Structure 1
């Protein structure tokens, strides 16, 4: 029952987001062809507006938009004459997903490791160094870190390429630029949660029984301390695999974020609406999977709501 309610809520949320995005687009003055008004004849502009249903009443545009959305048809791109929105997303999502998966992998491995070490060596040198890395990661935005990485590793040392895409070398710098901030947050969450867990009575009992420290940390410590981190990973994972606009722009990555930024500047309504709905679906589905994963991590958590 809980899962069915969540699925219904997911569809309702997607509809609300799609509707709000459509309304916001209609409140923006002008249309995508306003810049061509002084160049093209009025008849041509009217034909172009008719092609994209912009000449129809707004309520009818909304109905047609929802109808196409239900059919998984996000419509044609106004700026691209050869590709529709579905094709743009299909072309850009693999690059964004690859970049996001690598970034979240780096953030998880290093963040969890730093957090665990900081908790196990609380108020020692390792703890201070780990939290220093976390503070730097939180304080330095990715759009500042990215040019610094390019300057040092690409321009000065010439170790890694930039402004191109195709090999594993091209993904290293953008992945680390994306990973540092979530790495820092994961490390802080894991440290705080791990310190609290390691002070629980069941941990002290395990120590008193003479269980190996490694077994205590892995079996009892990390498993119970990781739940707050899992909560954070949900929206983070969705955000990263759908692309980070600034990083993709800086490193010239042909991801979905690039198309979204370009669509805003070009006022390409179908691309803006389509990518927004796509981002929303990814985020909502990821949060749903994270909720289900709670039960796998901690069997004490029940997948039910009040009254079920």
Structure 2
């Protein structure tokens, strides 16, 4: 019952996002074919508007839009008229997904490790050093860190390619630039959660029973402290993928971010709407899966709970 309720909530959320996206696009002033008005006959412009259903009433456009979404058809692109939005997303998403996934792994592995170490050495030098690293990671935006990485690791030392996309070496620097801020956030989350857990009564009981420090940390500490971080993975993954937009521009990566940015400047409404909904679906579905997976991580959480 709980899973079913969550599933319908997910579907409702996607519908609301799709509707808001449609409404916002209709409030944007201007005509996507305005740049062609001086070079194309009016009849041709009318045919183009008809192709994208722009000649129909708003209500009809909305019904057709939702119908196409249900059939997973995001329509044709206005700027790239020989390509569909589906094709653009399918071709651009793999580089963005790979980049986001690598950054997520880096952020989780090193962020969790840094947070755990800082918590175990609370109010000592290692804790202060870890938090200084975290503050630096949060303070430096990826679009500032990326050029610095290029300057030293590519231009000065020649360890990695400057830009473009091809081998695994092309993914290292953009992944590092993208992972720096979420790594710091994960470290701070894990540190705070770990400190709270390690001060809990059941930890003191386990210690009194003679359980080793390593056993307490692994069996009781990390398992319970990681729950807040798990709930953060969904939004983190979605933010990393959408956050690749700037990084893709800096490193000349042929990801979906390039198409999204270009679509904004070119008033390519189908691409804007399609990518917005696509990333929203990723976020909502990920949150749904994370919510369900809570039961596997902590048996105390019941899937039959009435609470959201």
Report if TM-score (shorter chain) is over 0.5. yes
Aligned residue number for residue 277 of structure 1? 277
Aligned residue number for residue 112 of structure 2? 112
**Contact map agreement 2:22 2:273 (CA 8 A) in 1:** yes
1:305, distance to aligned residue in structure 2 (A): 4.1
Which segment is superposed worse, 80-89 or 180-189? Answer: 80-89
Show CA shifts across 1:118-150 (max 9, x none): 011111111111001100011111111111111
Distance across 2 between alignment mates of 1:286 and 1:43 = 46
Aligned residue number for residue 301 of structure 2? 301
**Contact map agreement 1:99 1:243 (CA 8 A) in 2:** no
- Alpha-carbon RMSD across the aligned residues, in angstroms, is 1.5
Aligned residue number for residue 239 of structure 1? 239
1:204, distance to aligned residue in structure 2 (A): 1.5
SS of corresponding position for 2:151: helix
Distance across 1 between alignment mates of 2:24 and 2:37 = 23
1:43, distance to aligned residue in structure 2 (A): 2.1
Distance across 1 between alignment mates of 2:306 and 2:14 = 24
**Contact map agreement 2:154 2:162 (CA 8 A) in 1:** yes
Distance across 2 between alignment mates of 1:55 and 1:70 = 22
1:243, distance to aligned residue in structure 2 (A): 5.4
1:244, distance to aligned residue in structure 2 (A): 2.1
1:274, distance to aligned residue in structure 2 (A): 0.9
Aligned residue number for residue 169 of structure 2? 169
Distance across 2 between alignment mates of 1:208 and 1:6 = 41
Aligned residue number for residue 149 of structure 2? 149
Question: TM-score normalised to the size of structure 1?
Answer: 0.96
1:259, distance to aligned residue in structure 2 (A): 1.2
1:38, distance to aligned residue in structure 2 (A): 2.1
Aligned residue number for residue 35 of structure 1? 35
Q: Does 1:17 align with 2:17?
A: yes
Aligned residue number for residue 193 of structure 1? 193
Unaligned runs of 5+ in 2: none
Distance across 2 between alignment mates of 1:150 and 1:238 = 25
Distance across 1 between alignment mates of 2:163 and 2:43 = 41
**Contact map agreement 1:133 1:184 (CA 8 A) in 2:** yes
Distance across 2 between alignment mates of 1:118 and 1:196 = 13
**Contact map agreement 1:93 1:242 (CA 8 A) in 2:** no
Aligned residue number for residue 67 of structure 2? 67
Distance across 2 between alignment mates of 1:298 and 1:148 = 42
Show CA shifts across 1:49-81 (max 9, x none): 122111122111111111111111110111113
Change (3 A) 1:16 1:252: same
Distance across 2 between alignment mates of 1:301 and 1:174 = 38
Aligned residue number for residue 179 of structure 1? 179
Change (3 A) 1:239 1:15: same
Change (3 A) 1:234 1:97: same
Aligned residue number for residue 53 of structure 2? 53
Aligned residue number for residue 97 of structure 1? 97
Distance across 2 between alignment mates of 1:179 and 1:126 = 22
Change (3 A) 1:181 1:37: same
1:41, distance to aligned residue in structure 2 (A): 2.3
SS of corresponding position for 2:296: helix
SS of corresponding position for 1:137: helix
SS of corresponding position for 1:267: coil
Distance across 2 between alignment mates of 1:239 and 1:192 = 22
Aligned residue number for residue 226 of structure 2? 226
**Contact map agreement 1:32 1:267 (CA 8 A) in 2:** yes
**Contact map agreement 2:143 2:246 (CA 8 A) in 1:** yes
Distance across 1 between alignment mates of 2:166 and 2:242 = 19
